[in-house]
Chain A
Amino acid sequence: MKPRLILLAVFMAIAFMALGADRTKSAAMIERHSSAPGAEVTVIKGGDLSRYGLSEYHSLTLPSATAATADEIAAAVSADIASATDREVSYHNGRIKYAFLTMPTADDGLNRYVIYVCNPAKSGRRRVVLIDIKGKATARQLQNLIKITSK
């Protein structure tokens, strides 16, 4: 009985680890900081998204992230930049300002994108927006969909 139980526990642990293997580092950051004070999380699945060729939309907005949190998220985005198949990244003072990343195709065959924006906020803090998107839409279609304003 004991070996069976231990085997079951080990398989369960492996299964849960495997569930996380398909995720981007940015997606992990969204989950990790989703309960941070002031965090705004938007999760959309199905519905209107299908009109735009998308199936999942996860976003995290930290309106007043500390430098440490912003750096942690930027590090995760940097890791995703390294593994992205296509990338559009802009920097300001050596810091990633904006990133549009085309990530390797997900296990379910859908395209996956990561969008990152880091703006200044009050008292040296940062306003961080991190978006993880999955869908059939191409990068060009998605870029046409996004409205970007710069001040």
Chain B
Amino acid sequence: MIRFTITILTLAAASVTATASTAPDTLKTVENPTEVTIVTGGSRSLSLTVKSDSSRYDFLAENTPEKSEPTIDISFPFIDNVRKQHTKGRRTKWRSFAMRGIYAGASMPSDAVPGLRTGWELGISQLSGVELLSPSRRTSLTAGVGYFYRRQKVGNGSHLSDNGHGRIAITPAPEGTHSHSSSISSFGLQLPVMLKQQLIGPTGMAVGVVGLWNTYTTASTKWTDADGTTCKRKMKGLHQRAFTVDALLIFNFGSEIGWYARYSPMHLFHRSTGPEYSLWSTGVNIGF
């Protein structure tokens, strides 16, 4: 007599559905079966068919997958023509954008100018701009306009002195004075032209040049005399270059937070009208 126990079937079922963690249970014992089918309830169904003749068993397992999620498609009567044009081949595309590249970081002098210390900078590199996207949409060329503020500190026993006619210099602080604090502040518009490449997903990098229109530059110096009097002097009408150029590199991790490095090789002041220094700056960039 052929005895067939459903326990075996449920074990087999468990192995098929990969839920072997549940202990098998004897549901029913069938004697001399020719065919046994088990169908579980719910959206997942399992049927296990046992066919037998007098000499052998054939186990056939069938796993009906979970009922698939329906798909919804929508279409508009006016869109078909556009799609046809679109699928003929992607083209480059122009688009405008606003508010990209809010940044803040530290600026370090790359030239050994005695007394010149690390400063800081912040700005929006592209308040608005236009972007030329490649057909793949992964590469683009952007041009925009933004603004910047940069403040370079002077210290280490030196201060900024006014040499008359808008000329300034970093000189040793006079004896008998203390608590010196000097800085050069520069504000203006910036015009970045960047080549942008997406690497993995929204993560990408951009490299380019930034034209800086140095609209306003001042210097200030503050010190305390031997008698305790605090003095402050602001120097305006300086001889800054109207236009300087920076090189900019941005790595963005995702589409929001990134890191930037900027090199400013051009001296801010005309020759012999102020300290001559180049800058490296680095910091955080938000918006890519």
Contacts and interface: CB of A to CB of B under 8 A. Distances in A.
A49 B74 contact: no
B70 A16 contact: no
A16 B73 contact: no
Contact of B71 (A34, A44, A120): A120
Interface in B51-76: 68-76
Given A35-B133, A37-B138, A44-B82, A16 B72 contact: no
B216 A1 contact: yes
A5 B138 contact: no
Contacts of A16: 98-99, 127-128
Nearest to A2: B216
B198 A35 contact: yes
Given A40-B86, A119-B69, A120-B69, A148 B74 contact: yes
A42 interface: yes
In the complex, which range does the number of interface residues on chain B fall in? 35 or more
Given A16-B98, A148-B72, A35 B137 contact: yes
Contacts of B75: 146-147, 149
Nearest to B98: A16
A90 to B, nearest CB: 8
A40 B136 CA distance: 11
Interface in A78-131: 92-93, 97-98, 115, 117, 119-120, 127, 129, 131
Contacts of B124: 13
A39 B255 contact: no
A19 interface: yes
B201 interface: yes
Contacts of B201: 36-37, 66
A147 B79 CA distance: 11
A7 interface: no
Nearest to B137: A35
A35 B93 CA distance: 11
Interface string A35-59: 1110110101000110110000101
Contacts of B140: 35
Which 6 A-B pairs rank lowest in CB-CB distance, beginning with the nearest? A119-B71, A16-B98, A48-B78, A35-B137, A149-B73, A120-B69
Given A34-B137, A37-B136, A146-B76, 8 more contacts: A1-B215, A2-B216, A5-B187, A44-B79, A51-B78, A57-B78, A97-B72, A117-B73
